[in-house]
Chain A
Amino acid sequence: MMETMTKTPLKDNSTEDIQYKLIAENISASYDGIVAVKNVSMKFRDKAVTALIGPSGCGKTTFLRCLNRMHELTKNATLTGRVLLDGEDLYSNKVDPIINRRKIGMVFQKPNPFPTMSIYDNVACGLKLNGVKDKKIIDEVVEGCLKMASLWNEVKGDLKKPGMSLSGGQQQRLCIARALAIQPEVLLMDEPASALDPIATQKIEEMIQELKKEYTIIIVTHNMQQATRVSDYTGFMYLGDLVEFGETKQIFENPRNEITAKYVQGQFG
Protein backbone atom coordinates (compact mmCIF):
# COMPACT_ATOMS: atom_id res chain seq x y z
CA MET A 1 0.00 0.00 0.00
CA MET A 2 2.87 2.30 0.79
CA GLU A 3 4.10 1.96 -2.80
CA THR A 4 0.87 3.27 -4.22
CA MET A 5 0.75 5.90 -1.52
CA THR A 6 4.00 7.60 -2.32
CA LYS A 7 3.20 7.58 -6.00
CA THR A 8 -0.18 9.19 -5.51
CA PRO A 9 0.12 12.63 -7.04
CA LEU A 10 -0.50 15.52 -4.73
CA LYS A 11 -3.99 16.78 -5.28
CA ASP A 12 -4.87 20.29 -4.34
CA ASN A 13 -8.58 20.38 -4.91
CA SER A 14 -9.12 23.77 -3.34
CA THR A 15 -10.37 26.58 -5.49
CA GLU A 16 -7.78 28.91 -6.96
CA ASP A 17 -7.58 32.70 -6.94
CA ILE A 18 -8.22 33.16 -3.26
CA GLN A 19 -6.09 34.97 -0.73
CA TYR A 20 -3.57 32.74 1.01
CA LYS A 21 -2.14 33.80 4.35
CA LEU A 22 0.32 31.01 4.82
CA ILE A 23 1.91 28.82 2.17
CA ALA A 24 4.01 25.75 2.92
CA GLU A 25 6.16 24.65 0.01
CA ASN A 26 7.81 21.24 -0.21
CA ILE A 27 8.20 20.78 3.51
CA SER A 28 10.15 17.69 4.51
CA ALA A 29 10.98 17.21 8.15
CA SER A 30 12.67 14.58 10.25
CA TYR A 31 13.97 14.09 13.75
CA ASP A 32 16.44 11.55 15.06
CA GLY A 33 16.70 10.25 11.51
CA ILE A 34 12.98 9.47 11.27
CA VAL A 35 11.34 11.17 8.32
CA ALA A 36 8.03 12.48 9.63
CA VAL A 37 6.90 14.77 6.83
CA LYS A 38 7.60 14.07 3.16
CA ASN A 39 7.53 16.93 0.72
CA VAL A 40 4.23 18.45 1.83
CA SER A 41 2.90 21.60 0.20
CA MET A 42 -0.22 23.33 1.43
CA LYS A 43 -1.84 26.71 1.13
CA PHE A 44 -3.84 28.13 3.99
CA ARG A 45 -6.56 30.64 3.29
CA ASP A 46 -6.92 33.76 5.36
CA LYS A 47 -9.84 33.90 7.82
CA ALA A 48 -10.61 30.23 7.40
CA VAL A 49 -10.11 27.08 9.42
CA THR A 50 -7.99 24.33 7.91
CA ALA A 51 -8.01 20.94 9.61
CA LEU A 52 -5.23 18.39 9.38
CA ILE A 53 -6.43 14.85 9.90
CA GLY A 54 -4.78 11.45 9.72
CA PRO A 55 -3.85 8.49 11.87
CA SER A 56 -1.39 8.78 14.76
CA GLY A 57 2.19 9.24 13.67
CA CYS A 58 1.32 10.52 10.19
CA GLY A 59 3.28 13.74 10.66
CA LYS A 60 0.45 16.21 11.33
CA THR A 61 1.97 17.64 14.47
CA THR A 62 5.48 17.75 13.03
CA PHE A 63 4.15 19.59 10.00
CA LEU A 64 2.30 22.04 12.22
CA ARG A 65 5.48 22.67 14.19
CA CYS A 66 7.31 23.49 10.96
CA LEU A 67 4.89 26.34 10.36
CA ASN A 68 6.13 28.45 13.28
CA ARG A 69 9.70 27.14 13.35
CA MET A 70 9.09 25.15 16.53
CA HIS A 71 10.27 21.98 14.82
CA GLU A 72 13.86 23.15 14.73
CA LEU A 73 13.88 23.29 18.55
CA THR A 74 13.45 19.53 18.68
CA LYS A 75 16.69 17.64 19.18
CA ASN A 76 18.28 16.37 15.96
CA ALA A 77 15.58 17.91 13.81
CA THR A 78 16.10 18.62 10.14
CA LEU A 79 13.88 20.44 7.72
CA THR A 80 13.78 21.44 4.07
CA GLY A 81 11.27 23.54 2.20
CA ARG A 82 9.80 27.01 2.55
CA VAL A 83 6.99 28.54 4.57
CA LEU A 84 5.66 31.83 3.30
CA LEU A 85 3.72 34.13 5.60
CA ASP A 86 2.18 36.90 3.49
CA GLY A 87 4.71 36.00 0.84
CA GLU A 88 7.72 36.28 3.12
CA ASP A 89 9.86 33.19 3.73
CA LEU A 90 9.94 32.32 7.43
CA TYR A 91 13.04 30.24 6.96
CA SER A 92 15.06 32.91 5.18
CA ASN A 93 18.24 33.88 7.00
CA LYS A 94 17.10 37.48 7.17
CA VAL A 95 14.07 36.61 9.28
CA ASP A 96 14.25 36.21 13.05
CA PRO A 97 12.21 33.17 14.11
CA ILE A 98 11.20 35.02 17.26
CA ILE A 99 9.38 37.73 15.33
CA ASN A 100 7.48 35.12 13.36
CA ARG A 101 6.46 33.15 16.39
CA ARG A 102 4.82 36.36 17.56
CA LYS A 103 2.80 36.43 14.35
CA ILE A 104 1.91 32.74 14.53
CA GLY A 105 0.37 31.71 17.82
CA MET A 106 0.28 28.11 18.98
CA VAL A 107 -1.96 26.09 21.26
CA PHE A 108 -0.67 22.73 22.43
CA GLN A 109 -2.30 19.37 22.89
CA LYS A 110 -2.06 19.39 26.66
CA PRO A 111 -3.03 22.54 28.55
CA ASN A 112 0.24 24.04 29.75
CA PRO A 113 -0.37 27.28 31.63
CA PHE A 114 2.79 28.55 33.29
CA PRO A 115 2.70 26.92 36.71
CA THR A 116 4.03 29.78 38.80
CA MET A 117 1.90 32.48 37.23
CA SER A 118 -1.58 33.74 38.03
CA ILE A 119 -4.38 33.66 35.47
CA TYR A 120 -3.68 37.31 34.70
CA ASP A 121 0.06 36.84 34.36
CA ASN A 122 -0.36 33.81 32.13
CA VAL A 123 -2.16 35.95 29.57
CA ALA A 124 -0.03 39.03 30.19
CA CYS A 125 3.39 37.38 30.09
CA GLY A 126 3.58 37.21 26.30
CA LEU A 127 3.20 40.99 26.30
CA LYS A 128 5.39 41.71 29.30
CA LEU A 129 8.24 39.49 28.14
CA ASN A 130 8.03 40.99 24.69
CA GLY A 131 8.52 44.48 26.06
CA VAL A 132 5.01 45.89 26.55
CA LYS A 133 5.10 48.07 29.67
CA ASP A 134 1.87 50.07 29.62
CA LYS A 135 -0.28 48.58 32.36
CA LYS A 136 -3.47 49.93 30.82
CA ILE A 137 -2.83 48.22 27.50
CA ILE A 138 -1.93 44.97 29.25
CA ASP A 139 -5.15 45.09 31.28
CA GLU A 140 -7.14 45.73 28.16
CA VAL A 141 -5.50 42.88 26.24
CA VAL A 142 -5.91 40.42 29.12
CA GLU A 143 -9.60 41.15 29.43
CA GLY A 144 -10.14 41.10 25.67
CA CYS A 145 -8.30 37.83 25.15
CA LEU A 146 -10.02 36.10 28.05
CA LYS A 147 -13.33 37.21 26.55
CA MET A 148 -12.32 35.89 23.13
CA ALA A 149 -11.38 32.59 24.72
CA SER A 150 -14.80 32.68 26.46
CA LEU A 151 -13.15 32.36 29.84
CA TRP A 152 -13.64 35.89 31.15
CA ASN A 153 -16.99 35.31 32.85
CA GLU A 154 -15.63 32.34 34.75
CA VAL A 155 -12.43 33.97 36.02
CA LYS A 156 -12.97 37.73 36.13
CA GLY A 157 -13.24 37.66 39.93
CA ASP A 158 -10.05 35.70 40.54
CA LEU A 159 -7.46 36.84 38.04
CA LYS A 160 -4.84 36.64 40.78
CA LYS A 161 -5.41 32.92 41.36
CA PRO A 162 -2.79 30.55 39.96
CA GLY A 163 -3.47 29.43 36.40
CA MET A 164 -3.08 25.85 37.49
CA SER A 165 -6.08 26.14 39.82
CA LEU A 166 -8.45 26.03 36.85
CA SER A 167 -10.03 22.88 35.44
CA GLY A 168 -8.48 21.20 32.37
CA GLY A 169 -10.91 22.80 29.94
CA GLN A 170 -10.47 26.23 31.51
CA GLN A 171 -6.70 25.81 31.43
CA GLN A 172 -6.84 25.10 27.72
CA ARG A 173 -8.95 28.19 27.12
CA LEU A 174 -6.45 30.13 29.24
CA CYS A 175 -3.69 28.86 26.95
CA ILE A 176 -5.70 30.03 23.95
CA ALA A 177 -6.10 33.45 25.55
CA ARG A 178 -2.36 33.47 26.19
CA ALA A 179 -1.68 32.67 22.54
CA LEU A 180 -4.10 35.39 21.38
CA ALA A 181 -2.52 38.00 23.65
CA ILE A 182 0.51 38.47 21.43
CA GLN A 183 -1.89 39.46 18.63
CA PRO A 184 -0.93 36.73 16.17
CA GLU A 185 -2.28 36.58 12.65
CA VAL A 186 -2.23 32.82 12.40
CA LEU A 187 -3.27 30.38 15.11
CA LEU A 188 -1.91 26.82 15.13
CA MET A 189 -3.81 24.36 17.27
CA ASP A 190 -2.43 20.92 17.97
CA GLU A 191 -5.38 18.75 19.02
CA PRO A 192 -6.56 21.47 21.38
CA ALA A 193 -9.53 19.48 22.63
CA SER A 194 -8.10 15.99 22.89
CA ALA A 195 -7.70 16.17 26.66
CA LEU A 196 -11.08 17.75 27.28
CA ASP A 197 -14.61 16.61 28.01
CA PRO A 198 -17.43 17.13 25.46
CA ILE A 199 -18.69 20.37 27.00
CA ALA A 200 -15.24 21.96 27.13
CA THR A 201 -14.65 20.71 23.60
CA GLN A 202 -17.85 22.32 22.43
CA LYS A 203 -16.82 25.62 24.01
CA ILE A 204 -13.50 25.50 22.21
CA GLU A 205 -15.15 24.67 18.91
CA GLU A 206 -17.58 27.58 19.27
CA MET A 207 -14.63 29.80 20.04
CA ILE A 208 -12.81 28.64 16.91
CA GLN A 209 -15.86 29.61 14.85
CA GLU A 210 -15.74 33.03 16.46
CA LEU A 211 -11.97 33.46 16.04
CA LYS A 212 -12.12 32.47 12.40
CA LYS A 213 -13.49 35.90 11.57
CA GLU A 214 -10.10 37.42 12.30
CA TYR A 215 -7.53 34.65 12.16
CA THR A 216 -6.10 32.03 9.90
CA ILE A 217 -6.56 28.87 11.94
CA ILE A 218 -4.87 25.55 11.36
CA ILE A 219 -6.03 22.75 13.61
CA VAL A 220 -4.68 19.23 13.97
CA THR A 221 -7.33 16.80 15.12
CA HIS A 222 -7.93 13.12 15.59
CA ASN A 223 -11.61 13.68 15.80
CA MET A 224 -13.18 13.63 12.36
CA GLN A 225 -16.52 14.97 13.58
CA GLN A 226 -14.59 17.89 14.97
CA ALA A 227 -12.94 18.48 11.62
CA THR A 228 -16.33 18.51 9.87
CA ARG A 229 -17.79 20.82 12.51
CA VAL A 230 -15.09 23.46 12.66
CA SER A 231 -13.11 23.46 9.43
CA ASP A 232 -13.56 24.91 5.98
CA TYR A 233 -10.68 22.99 4.45
CA THR A 234 -9.24 19.64 5.36
CA GLY A 235 -5.92 17.99 4.58
CA PHE A 236 -5.53 14.25 5.05
CA MET A 237 -2.04 13.06 5.90
CA TYR A 238 -0.81 9.50 5.88
CA LEU A 239 2.70 8.20 6.57
CA GLY A 240 4.19 11.66 6.18
CA ASP A 241 2.46 12.43 2.87
CA LEU A 242 -0.33 14.86 2.23
CA VAL A 243 -2.73 12.51 0.48
CA GLU A 244 -5.59 14.83 -0.24
CA PHE A 245 -6.41 18.45 0.47
CA GLY A 246 -9.60 20.25 -0.30
CA GLU A 247 -12.82 21.65 1.03
CA THR A 248 -13.93 19.81 4.14
CA LYS A 249 -17.29 18.90 2.62
CA GLN A 250 -15.65 17.39 -0.41
CA ILE A 251 -13.03 15.47 1.59
CA PHE A 252 -15.64 13.86 3.81
CA GLU A 253 -18.47 13.38 1.36
CA ASN A 254 -16.69 12.82 -1.89
CA PRO A 255 -13.05 11.95 -1.31
CA ARG A 256 -11.05 11.47 -4.50
CA ASN A 257 -8.44 9.23 -2.99
CA GLU A 258 -9.17 5.67 -1.95
CA ILE A 259 -7.18 5.88 1.28
CA THR A 260 -8.84 9.15 2.26
CA ALA A 261 -12.18 7.49 1.72
CA LYS A 262 -11.25 4.55 3.92
CA TYR A 263 -9.97 6.83 6.63
CA VAL A 264 -12.92 9.21 6.77
CA GLN A 265 -15.27 6.23 6.78
CA GLY A 266 -13.45 4.96 9.83
CA GLN A 267 -12.12 1.81 8.20
CA PHE A 268 -8.67 2.35 9.63
CA GLY A 269 -6.79 4.86 11.72
Chain B
Amino acid sequence: MITVEQRTEFRKHFRYNVGRRLILDKAVKCIVFLCVVVAVVPLVAILVNVFSNGAAALSWNFLTEIPGAVGSNDLGGIGPAIQGTLVLIGLSSLIGVPVGIMGGIFLSEYGNNRYGRTVRFFNDVLAEFPTIVIGVFTFILIVLTVGTFSVWAGSFALSIVMLPIVMRTTEESLKLVPVTYREAGYALGIRRWRVVFTIVLSGAKSGLVTGILLSVARIAGETAPLVFTILGSSQFIQGLNGPIDALPLRIWRLSSLPYDSSVTQGWGAAFVLIILVLSINIGVRYLFLRRKGQTILKFKRLGSMS
Protein backbone atom coordinates (compact mmCIF):
# COMPACT_ATOMS: atom_id res chain seq x y z
CA MET B 1 0.00 0.00 0.00
CA ILE B 2 1.05 3.55 -0.61
CA THR B 3 0.91 5.69 2.52
CA VAL B 4 -0.43 9.23 2.70
CA GLU B 5 3.12 10.55 3.19
CA GLN B 6 4.34 8.67 0.15
CA ARG B 7 1.50 10.01 -1.90
CA THR B 8 2.32 13.61 -0.94
CA GLU B 9 5.93 12.88 -1.83
CA PHE B 10 4.93 11.42 -5.22
CA ARG B 11 2.82 14.43 -6.02
CA LYS B 12 5.83 16.72 -5.58
CA HIS B 13 7.46 14.99 -8.53
CA PHE B 14 4.79 16.02 -10.98
CA ARG B 15 5.41 19.17 -12.94
CA TYR B 16 3.01 21.98 -12.21
CA ASN B 17 4.40 24.61 -14.57
CA VAL B 18 1.09 24.93 -16.37
CA GLY B 19 2.13 28.04 -18.29
CA ARG B 20 5.01 26.34 -20.01
CA ARG B 21 2.97 23.30 -20.84
CA LEU B 22 0.22 25.41 -22.35
CA ILE B 23 2.79 27.11 -24.56
CA LEU B 24 4.22 23.73 -25.56
CA ASP B 25 0.74 22.50 -26.37
CA LYS B 26 0.13 25.52 -28.59
CA ALA B 27 3.54 25.11 -30.20
CA VAL B 28 2.83 21.49 -31.15
CA LYS B 29 -0.49 22.52 -32.59
CA CYS B 30 1.23 25.24 -34.66
CA ILE B 31 3.91 22.88 -35.96
CA VAL B 32 1.34 20.29 -36.99
CA PHE B 33 -0.71 22.96 -38.72
CA LEU B 34 2.34 24.37 -40.51
CA CYS B 35 3.28 20.92 -41.76
CA VAL B 36 -0.18 20.53 -43.23
CA VAL B 37 0.19 23.89 -44.97
CA VAL B 38 3.57 22.83 -46.33
CA ALA B 39 1.99 19.65 -47.64
CA VAL B 40 -1.05 21.36 -49.14
CA VAL B 41 0.73 24.27 -50.83
CA PRO B 42 2.39 22.19 -53.56
CA LEU B 43 -0.87 20.34 -54.14
CA VAL B 44 -2.84 23.53 -54.64
CA ALA B 45 0.03 25.07 -56.62
CA ILE B 46 0.03 22.11 -59.01
CA LEU B 47 -3.72 22.26 -59.48
CA VAL B 48 -3.67 26.03 -60.09
CA ASN B 49 -0.68 25.76 -62.38
CA VAL B 50 -2.17 22.93 -64.42
CA PHE B 51 -5.49 24.68 -64.73
CA SER B 52 -4.13 28.15 -65.58
CA ASN B 53 -1.77 26.75 -68.19
CA GLY B 54 -4.26 24.36 -69.70
CA ALA B 55 -7.54 26.23 -69.43
CA ALA B 56 -7.01 27.84 -72.82
CA ALA B 57 -7.02 24.42 -74.46
CA LEU B 58 -10.22 23.18 -72.83
CA SER B 59 -13.26 22.95 -75.05
CA TRP B 60 -15.79 20.36 -76.09
CA ASN B 61 -13.82 19.64 -79.26
CA PHE B 62 -10.68 19.17 -77.21
CA LEU B 63 -12.35 16.44 -75.22
CA THR B 64 -13.96 14.62 -78.12
CA GLU B 65 -11.83 14.99 -81.25
CA ILE B 66 -8.83 13.08 -82.46
CA PRO B 67 -5.49 14.87 -82.45
CA GLY B 68 -4.64 16.94 -85.51
CA ALA B 69 -1.51 16.51 -87.59
CA VAL B 70 1.60 17.69 -85.77
CA GLY B 71 2.46 21.28 -86.65
CA SER B 72 -0.74 21.93 -88.57
CA ASN B 73 -3.25 24.62 -87.65
CA ASP B 74 -5.86 22.05 -86.76
CA LEU B 75 -4.79 21.01 -83.25
CA GLY B 76 -7.61 18.56 -82.74
CA GLY B 77 -8.33 17.05 -79.33
CA ILE B 78 -7.50 14.25 -76.92
CA GLY B 79 -10.64 12.16 -77.36
CA PRO B 80 -8.79 8.89 -78.05
CA ALA B 81 -6.55 9.42 -75.05
CA ILE B 82 -9.51 9.88 -72.68
CA GLN B 83 -11.23 6.86 -74.17
CA GLY B 84 -8.04 4.82 -73.98
CA THR B 85 -7.38 5.71 -70.35
CA LEU B 86 -10.94 4.73 -69.40
CA VAL B 87 -10.66 1.43 -71.28
CA LEU B 88 -7.29 0.69 -69.71
CA ILE B 89 -8.51 1.50 -66.19
CA GLY B 90 -11.55 -0.73 -66.74
CA LEU B 91 -9.66 -3.69 -68.17
CA SER B 92 -6.78 -3.50 -65.70
CA SER B 93 -9.21 -3.34 -62.79
CA LEU B 94 -11.07 -6.31 -64.21
CA ILE B 95 -7.86 -8.31 -63.97
CA GLY B 96 -6.14 -6.65 -61.02
CA VAL B 97 -8.98 -6.14 -58.54
CA PRO B 98 -10.32 -9.71 -58.26
CA VAL B 99 -6.87 -11.25 -58.21
CA GLY B 100 -5.66 -8.64 -55.72
CA ILE B 101 -8.63 -9.09 -53.39
CA MET B 102 -8.33 -12.88 -53.50
CA GLY B 103 -4.61 -12.58 -52.81
CA GLY B 104 -5.32 -10.22 -49.93
CA ILE B 105 -7.85 -12.68 -48.50
CA PHE B 106 -5.26 -15.41 -48.72
CA LEU B 107 -2.62 -13.33 -46.95
CA SER B 108 -4.97 -12.23 -44.20
CA GLU B 109 -6.97 -15.39 -43.58
CA TYR B 110 -4.74 -18.25 -44.69
CA GLY B 111 -1.30 -16.66 -44.95
CA ASN B 112 -0.07 -17.08 -41.43
CA ASN B 113 2.65 -19.51 -42.45
CA ARG B 114 5.92 -19.63 -44.30
CA TYR B 115 4.29 -19.64 -47.70
CA GLY B 116 2.16 -16.64 -46.77
CA ARG B 117 5.15 -14.72 -45.47
CA THR B 118 7.06 -15.39 -48.69
CA VAL B 119 4.15 -14.21 -50.82
CA ARG B 120 3.81 -11.11 -48.64
CA PHE B 121 7.50 -10.31 -49.02
CA PHE B 122 7.53 -10.62 -52.81
CA ASN B 123 4.30 -8.71 -53.04
CA ASP B 124 5.93 -5.82 -51.20
CA VAL B 125 8.92 -6.03 -53.51
CA LEU B 126 6.60 -5.93 -56.51
CA ALA B 127 4.89 -2.82 -55.13
CA GLU B 128 8.21 -1.02 -55.19
CA PHE B 129 9.24 -2.21 -58.65
CA PRO B 130 10.06 0.52 -61.17
CA THR B 131 7.07 0.43 -63.48
CA ILE B 132 9.29 0.78 -66.53
CA VAL B 133 10.59 -2.71 -65.73
CA ILE B 134 7.05 -4.00 -65.74
CA GLY B 135 6.60 -2.30 -69.11
CA VAL B 136 9.69 -3.94 -70.59
CA PHE B 137 8.67 -7.28 -69.09
CA THR B 138 5.23 -7.07 -70.69
CA PHE B 139 6.83 -5.95 -73.96
CA ILE B 140 8.95 -9.08 -74.06
CA LEU B 141 6.26 -11.39 -72.75
CA ILE B 142 3.25 -10.21 -74.74
CA VAL B 143 4.10 -7.60 -77.37
CA LEU B 144 7.03 -9.52 -78.88
CA THR B 145 5.22 -12.85 -78.65
CA VAL B 146 2.01 -11.64 -80.24
CA GLY B 147 3.85 -9.27 -82.54
CA THR B 148 1.76 -6.18 -81.91
CA PHE B 149 1.21 -3.44 -79.36
CA SER B 150 -2.20 -3.92 -77.86
CA VAL B 151 -4.75 -2.83 -75.29
CA TRP B 152 -4.35 -6.23 -73.67
CA ALA B 153 -0.65 -5.76 -73.17
CA GLY B 154 -1.25 -2.34 -71.59
CA SER B 155 -3.95 -3.66 -69.29
CA PHE B 156 -1.75 -6.57 -68.28
CA ALA B 157 1.13 -4.25 -67.39
CA LEU B 158 -1.13 -1.89 -65.46
CA SER B 159 -2.83 -4.74 -63.60
CA ILE B 160 0.60 -5.87 -62.42
CA VAL B 161 1.16 -2.34 -61.13
CA MET B 162 -2.13 -2.33 -59.25
CA LEU B 163 -2.01 -5.90 -57.95
CA PRO B 164 0.36 -5.45 -55.00
CA ILE B 165 -1.45 -2.30 -53.86
CA VAL B 166 -4.86 -3.97 -53.86
CA MET B 167 -3.46 -7.11 -52.24
CA ARG B 168 -1.75 -5.29 -49.41
CA THR B 169 -4.59 -2.90 -48.62
CA THR B 170 -7.07 -5.80 -48.72
CA GLU B 171 -4.95 -7.78 -46.30
CA GLU B 172 -4.57 -4.86 -43.92
CA SER B 173 -8.24 -3.95 -43.94
CA LEU B 174 -9.33 -7.56 -43.41
CA LYS B 175 -7.01 -7.82 -40.44
CA LEU B 176 -8.71 -4.79 -38.91
CA VAL B 177 -12.04 -6.62 -38.73
CA PRO B 178 -12.25 -7.80 -35.10
CA VAL B 179 -11.87 -11.54 -34.55
CA THR B 180 -15.12 -11.51 -32.56
CA TYR B 181 -17.11 -11.15 -35.81
CA ARG B 182 -15.36 -14.12 -37.34
CA GLU B 183 -16.04 -16.15 -34.19
CA ALA B 184 -19.68 -15.12 -34.19
CA GLY B 185 -19.86 -16.41 -37.76
CA TYR B 186 -18.15 -19.71 -36.97
CA ALA B 187 -20.41 -20.18 -33.94
CA LEU B 188 -23.40 -20.00 -36.28
CA GLY B 189 -22.00 -22.97 -38.16
CA ILE B 190 -21.07 -20.89 -41.19
CA ARG B 191 -18.16 -22.23 -43.19
CA ARG B 192 -14.90 -20.37 -43.12
CA TRP B 193 -14.94 -19.14 -46.72
CA ARG B 194 -18.47 -17.87 -46.28
CA VAL B 195 -17.57 -16.07 -43.08
CA VAL B 196 -14.72 -14.41 -44.97
CA PHE B 197 -16.77 -13.49 -48.00
CA THR B 198 -19.94 -12.31 -46.30
CA ILE B 199 -19.03 -11.07 -42.85
CA VAL B 200 -15.35 -10.13 -42.93
CA LEU B 201 -15.27 -8.71 -46.42
CA SER B 202 -18.31 -6.52 -45.88
CA GLY B 203 -16.84 -5.28 -42.63
CA ALA B 204 -13.69 -4.27 -44.48
CA LYS B 205 -15.49 -2.65 -47.40
CA SER B 206 -14.30 0.90 -46.88
CA GLY B 207 -10.68 -0.21 -46.64
CA LEU B 208 -11.05 -2.31 -49.78
CA VAL B 209 -12.59 0.52 -51.77
CA THR B 210 -9.87 2.91 -50.64
CA GLY B 211 -7.19 0.46 -51.71
CA ILE B 212 -8.76 -0.10 -55.12
CA LEU B 213 -9.14 3.65 -55.67
CA LEU B 214 -5.54 4.26 -54.71
CA SER B 215 -4.41 1.68 -57.22
CA VAL B 216 -6.71 3.08 -59.93
CA ALA B 217 -5.33 6.57 -59.34
CA ARG B 218 -1.86 5.12 -59.57
CA ILE B 219 -2.37 3.32 -62.89
CA ALA B 220 -4.32 6.21 -64.39
CA GLY B 221 -1.16 8.26 -64.23
CA GLU B 222 1.35 5.60 -65.27
CA THR B 223 3.28 6.38 -68.43
CA ALA B 224 6.30 4.12 -68.43
CA PRO B 225 4.57 0.72 -68.76
CA LEU B 226 2.38 2.11 -71.55
CA VAL B 227 5.21 3.24 -73.84
CA PHE B 228 6.17 -0.39 -74.35
CA THR B 229 2.72 -1.87 -74.51
CA ILE B 230 0.05 0.31 -76.13
CA LEU B 231 2.39 2.52 -78.16
CA GLY B 232 -0.09 5.39 -78.48
CA SER B 233 -2.39 6.24 -81.33
CA SER B 234 -4.21 9.14 -82.94
CA GLN B 235 -7.34 7.12 -83.52
CA PHE B 236 -10.18 5.97 -81.34
CA ILE B 237 -9.98 2.37 -80.21
CA GLN B 238 -9.76 -0.09 -83.10
CA GLY B 239 -10.08 -3.22 -81.03
CA LEU B 240 -8.35 -4.75 -78.03
CA ASN B 241 -5.59 -6.25 -80.16
CA GLY B 242 -4.35 -2.96 -81.54
CA PRO B 243 -2.56 0.08 -80.18
CA ILE B 244 -4.48 2.71 -78.25
CA ASP B 245 -3.84 6.14 -76.78
CA ALA B 246 -3.82 7.09 -73.12
CA LEU B 247 -3.80 10.39 -71.30
CA PRO B 248 -0.36 10.15 -69.65
CA LEU B 249 1.19 9.17 -72.99
CA ARG B 250 -0.60 12.00 -74.78
CA ILE B 251 0.51 14.50 -72.11
CA TRP B 252 4.06 13.33 -72.51
CA ARG B 253 3.95 13.58 -76.32
CA LEU B 254 2.20 16.95 -76.40
CA SER B 255 4.48 18.57 -73.88
CA SER B 256 7.60 17.46 -75.72
CA LEU B 257 6.46 19.07 -78.99
CA PRO B 258 8.12 22.39 -79.88
CA TYR B 259 4.81 24.26 -80.34
CA ASP B 260 3.28 26.47 -77.66
CA SER B 261 -0.22 25.45 -78.63
CA SER B 262 0.68 21.76 -78.19
CA VAL B 263 2.20 22.41 -74.78
CA THR B 264 -0.99 24.20 -73.75
CA GLN B 265 -2.91 21.14 -74.93
CA GLY B 266 -0.59 19.02 -72.78
CA TRP B 267 -1.52 21.09 -69.73
CA GLY B 268 -5.16 20.78 -70.69
CA ALA B 269 -4.82 16.99 -70.95
CA ALA B 270 -3.13 16.89 -67.53
CA PHE B 271 -6.04 18.83 -66.08
CA VAL B 272 -8.49 16.39 -67.68
CA LEU B 273 -6.58 13.44 -66.19
CA ILE B 274 -6.67 14.94 -62.70
CA ILE B 275 -10.41 15.61 -62.96
CA LEU B 276 -10.98 12.11 -64.34
CA VAL B 277 -9.23 10.41 -61.43
CA LEU B 278 -10.98 12.70 -58.98
CA SER B 279 -14.42 11.93 -60.40
CA ILE B 280 -13.78 8.18 -60.40
CA ASN B 281 -12.71 8.47 -56.79
CA ILE B 282 -15.71 10.51 -55.66
CA GLY B 283 -18.13 8.47 -57.76
CA VAL B 284 -16.99 5.10 -56.44
CA ARG B 285 -16.94 6.33 -52.86
CA TYR B 286 -20.46 7.64 -53.26
CA LEU B 287 -21.68 4.37 -54.79
CA PHE B 288 -20.10 1.98 -52.31
CA LEU B 289 -19.65 3.89 -49.11
CA ARG B 290 -22.80 5.94 -48.87
CA ARG B 291 -23.96 4.24 -45.74
CA LYS B 292 -20.54 2.94 -44.99
CA GLY B 293 -18.96 5.97 -43.35
CA GLN B 294 -20.93 4.74 -40.37
CA THR B 295 -19.39 1.32 -40.20
CA ILE B 296 -15.95 2.69 -39.49
CA LEU B 297 -17.40 4.77 -36.70
CA LYS B 298 -19.25 1.76 -35.38
CA PHE B 299 -16.05 -0.23 -35.15
CA LYS B 300 -14.55 2.55 -33.09
CA ARG B 301 -17.59 2.70 -30.86
CA LEU B 302 -17.39 -0.99 -30.20
CA GLY B 303 -13.73 -0.65 -29.37
CA SER B 304 -14.34 2.10 -26.86
CA MET B 305 -17.06 0.08 -25.23
CA SER B 306 -14.71 -2.66 -24.12
Separation of A30 and B197 alpha carbons in the complex (Å): 30
Stretch at the interface among A50-58, A103-111, A197-205, A231-239: A103-111
Separation of A117 and B205 alpha carbons in the complex (Å): 13
Question: Cβ of B183 < 8 Å from any Cβ of A?
Answer: yes
0/1 string, A82-120, CB within 8 A of B gives 1: 000000000000000011111001101010101111000
User: Distance in Å from the Cβ of A235 to the closest Cβ of chain B?
Assistant: 21
Question: Cβ of B7 < 8 Å from any Cβ of A?
Answer: no
Given contacts A164-B301, A195-B305, contact A101 B183 (CB under 8 A): no
CB-defined contacts of B299 to chain A, threshold 8 Å:
115
User: Distance in Å from the Cβ of B184 to the closest Cβ of chain A?
Assistant: 5
Question: Cβ of A130 < 8 Å from any Cβ of B?
Answer: yes
Q: Can you give 11 contacting A-B residue pairs, CB < 8 Å? A: A101-B186, A102-B188, A108-B183, A112-B183, A114-B203, A115-B203, A115-B299, A116-B203, A117-B202, A126-B188, A130-B189
Given contacts A115-B203, A116-B202, contact A102 B183 (CB under 8 A): no
Stretch at the interface among A39-47, A149-157, A175-183, A250-258: A175-183
User: Distance in Å from the Cβ of A90 to the closest Cβ of chain B?
Assistant: 13
Residue contact B188 to A129, C-beta cutoff 8 Å:
yes
Residue contact A108 to B180, C-beta cutoff 8 Å:
yes
Separation of A35 and B167 alpha carbons in the complex (Å): 37
Residue contact B305 to A168, C-beta cutoff 8 Å:
yes
How many pairs, one residue from A and one from B, have CB atoms within 8 Å of each other in the complex? 85
Question: Cβ of B235 < 8 Å from any Cβ of A?
Answer: no
Question: Cβ of B87 < 8 Å from any Cβ of A?
Answer: no
CB-defined contacts of A106 to chain B, threshold 8 Å:
187
Question: Main secondary structure on chain A at its contact with chain B?
Answer: mixed
CB-defined contacts of A70 to chain B, threshold 8 Å:
183, 186-187
User: Distance in Å from the Cβ of B109 to the closest Cβ of chain A?
Assistant: 12
Residue contact A105 to B194, C-beta cutoff 8 Å:
no
Question: Cβ of B3 < 8 Å from any Cβ of A?
Answer: no
Question: Cβ of A62 < 8 Å from any Cβ of B?
Answer: no
Give the contacting residue for B190; candidates A75, A115, A126; CB below 8 A: A126
Separation of A100 and B187 alpha carbons in the complex (Å): 9
Residue contact A99 to B189, C-beta cutoff 8 Å:
yes
Question: Cβ of A28 < 8 Å from any Cβ of B?
Answer: no
Question: Cβ of B306 < 8 Å from any Cβ of A?
Answer: yes
Separation of A175 and B183 alpha carbons in the complex (Å): 12
Residue contact B189 to A114, C-beta cutoff 8 Å:
no
Residue contact A179 to B188, C-beta cutoff 8 Å:
yes
Q: Which of B130-186 contact A (CB under 8 A)?
A: 178, 180-181, 183-186
Question: Cβ of B234 < 8 Å from any Cβ of A?
Answer: no
Q: Which of A130-186 contact B (CB under 8 A)?
A: 130, 162, 164, 168, 175, 178-179, 181-182
User: Distance in Å from the Cβ of B180 to the closest Cβ of chain A?
Assistant: 4
Question: Cβ of A10 < 8 Å from any Cβ of B?
Answer: no
CB-defined contacts of A112 to chain B, threshold 8 Å:
178, 180-181, 183-184, 302
Give the contacting residue for B298; candidates A99, A100, A115; CB below 8 A: A115
Write the chain A residue with the least CB distance to B177.
Answer: A115
Separation of A112 and B183 alpha carbons in the complex (Å): 9
Given contacts A70-B183, A101-B187, A102-B189, contact A116 B295 (CB under 8 A): yes
Question: Cβ of A27 < 8 Å from any Cβ of B?
Answer: no
**Which of A115, A162, A168 gathers most chain B CB within 10 Å?**
A115
